[in-house]
Chain A
Amino acid sequence: MKRIFIIISVCTALLAACAPAAEKSALQAVRLPMGYIPNVQFAPFYVAAEKGYFNEEGIAIDFDYKFETDGVTLVGAGELPFAMVSGEQVPLARAQGLPVVYAMAWWHGYPVAVAALEESGIRTVEDLKGKKVGIPILAGASYIGFRALLNTAGIDPEEVNLDVIGYNQVEALVGGQVDAVVVYANNEPVQLAARGYKVNVIRVVDFVNLASNGLLTNERTLAENPELVRGMIRAILHGVEDAIADPDETYRICRGYIEGLAEDDPIQKQVLAETRAFWKSDRPGWSELAAWQNMEATLRSMGLLSGELDITRAFTNDFLPE
């Protein structure tokens, strides 16, 4: 009797130990490259992970923070099924033969802006003529957004004195190194305001509709695993919906994913609030053709695209929930 009891106990223990592994193996592991470092701007993903939305779709999510271009290359090479990227990366990558497709719009508006101290008198795009403008790098979303902004006002880039300052926009502006800085509308203006500076912000989104941050996949995943794409989109959009609905809960969840995020950091809470505005849309996940056409036109005006490119193949709305 004692022996039977021991055998049953051992078997029960073994089954219990195997159960989570079996459950986990039923999920498909998805490594998701996202920009650079953990941040409250990725809140919907943290919410979706925390609330089990990815698991419900059969996905075991693993956030992989890295440079955006690396994520695009990995997806283009078929090494990974998804990455979160900014819109301009898609036509640039496709122009080089990467079979990538943008499958879901996450941000509905290009987040780049120009910020200037109030006393500078810079309030409009035209005011930037002849001014020294600090920019992190002469490439990527900041530069493309800035050039798109100049295009809307018909300003020749030569009329603006651009100074590459790295990611030191707040310091460069406050230190008087430059007259204005190219920033992310949801971040640096908040940082400046928190330090007591009054700033004028000229947002790209108020002038031109450009394809912004969203979910990137590749043609093979779309063809061979459409249900995975649909599940991924459903989980993210569910996270977006919740993150918009309850900012306090969202911030609390973020603390579990962002090391060092204080319990009540007013700046990060404000960054989250500003970012939420970019997620809101009447048609969550939907990509507008005009936004992609504007992006293509901007890239061509900058000489970053030259050959033929069918922009309609760069994105799809076919995998969004009904």
Chain B
Amino acid sequence: MANRNNSKIHASRVRKSVVLRLIPIAAAVIVCGTVWQAVSGFTGVPAFILPGPLVVAGRLAGVLANGSLIRHSLITLGEVLAGMAAGVGSAAFLGYLLSKSRLAEQILAPYIVATQAIPVVAIAPLLFIWLGSGFASKVLICALIVFFPVLVNTVIGLRSVSSNLHELMRSLGATRWQNFRHLELPAALPVLLGGLKIGATLSVIGAVVGEFIAPDRGLGFLISVARGQYDTALVFVGVFSLVTMALALYGLVAWAENRFLAWRD
């Protein structure tokens, strides 16, 4: 009985805390929306330059009703998730290798840094020739953009583990896997998740870069078509959808951070 009461109290506190956190966010949205409406309404700026929030909301309702926003959003989300999986997976693997082997670092690091100096928009058309303009090339562009911040954070995270702790694990006779599972991974996780937060937002940009260069579907396509038709309200809808997607992914990583790093508190 006491437990049940405690859990009820806990749930009520959580609800209260969520509501308290949502109030300033909602207030900020309302203030921004009001200012935006005032600027677009009172200055007489035409809708093709700055559509008001009501116009954008109307356009949003339209593309939600005909299903095109959901369809394009799901395509972009698929590219983003696949790109993140590929980018994060390869970066974590290579990051581990680089953190463990100075030789590997000496050989690979210059090339890895050099790849970051290549603007993706410049090589994207080539990727479309090599891989076709479908899903694979867009996922690859996304993965390329996500790769570097996650790699850097992985290396930093793994290298930040104190040598004393390594010696302690060795003295306890820990295997390589145990060392990784119980020492390196928990120690590196805060930095790794920090990299993942950056990667989550960048991955959305990556997918859209691909969709801009060979637009046939996805939110990048929707924005391209809207720009081509001077439908600025639809451009705003596409941009806000991308922002929402990036925020959701960021929130997901933040949630994972709270979930897996609760031990820090």
Contact = CB atoms under 8 A, between A and B. Distances in A.
Interface string A195-220: 00000000000000000000000000
Given A92-B230, A138-B225, A98 B215 contact: no
B230 A166 contact: no
B128 interface: yes
Nearest to A88: B228
B133 A69 contact: no
A96 B231 contact: yes
Given A92-B230, A139-B224, A163-B133, A73 B125 contact: no
Contact of B125 (A76, A92, A168): A168
A171 B129 contact: yes
Given A138-B216, A164-B215, A98 B224 contact: no
B39 interface: no
B215 A138 contact: yes
B230 A93 contact: yes
A138 B16 CA distance: 49
Contact of A139 (B213, B215, B232): B215
Interface stretch (B43-51, B147-155, B159-167, B254-262): B43-51
B228 to A, nearest CB: 4
Contacts of A164: 133, 214-216
Interface size class of A (residues with CB under 8 A): 20 to 34
Interface size class of B (residues with CB under 8 A): 20 to 34
Given A72-B230, A92-B229, A177 B132 contact: yes
B230 A73 contact: yes
Interface in A118-144: 137-140
A304 B229 contact: yes
B228 A139 contact: yes
B1 to A, nearest CB: 64
A77 B252 CA distance: 41
Given A138-B215, A166-B133, A69 B228 contact: yes
Given A164-B215, A167-B125, A175-B129, A137 B224 contact: yes
Interface in B200-248: 213-216, 221, 224-225, 227-232
A165 B125 CA distance: 8
B48 A168 contact: no
A172 interface: yes
Contact of A140 (B47, B228, B230): B228
A138 B46 CA distance: 27
Contacts of B228: 69, 92, 139-140
Contacts of A154: none
B138 to A, nearest CB: 11
Given A164-B214, A168-B125, A97 B224 contact: no
A177 B229 CA distance: 29
A93 B49 CA distance: 12
Contact of B129 (A92, A140, A168): A168
A160 to B, nearest CB: 14
A69 B49 CA distance: 12
Of the listed residues A139, A163, A175, the one surrounded by the most CB atoms of chain B closer than 10 A to its CB is A139
B88 to A, nearest CB: 27
A96 B48 contact: yes
A309 to B, nearest CB: 13
Contacts of A175: 129
Interface string B151-184: 0000000000000000000000000000000000
A31 to B, nearest CB: 18
B229 A166 contact: no
Interface string A93-113: 101111000000000000000
A172 B127 CA distance: 12
A140 B225 CA distance: 8
Interface string A159-190: 00001111110011001010000000000000
Contacts of B47: 96-97
Contacts of B129: 168, 171-172, 175, 177
Contact of B133 (A72, A77, A93, A165): A165
Contacts of B221: 138
Contacts of B213: 166
Of the listed residues B46, B124, B231, the one surrounded by the most CB atoms of chain A closer than 10 A to its CB is B46
A77 B216 contact: no
Contacts of A92: 228-230
A34 B132 CA distance: 30
Nearest to B232: A96
A139 B231 CA distance: 13
A168 B128 contact: yes
A69 B215 contact: no
Contacts of A172: 129
Given A97-B47, A140-B228, A168-B129, 6 more contacts: A98-B46, A98-B48, A138-B216, A166-B124, A167-B125, A177-B129
- Closest 5 interchain pairs by CB? A164-B216, A96-B230, A166-B214, A139-B228, A171-B129
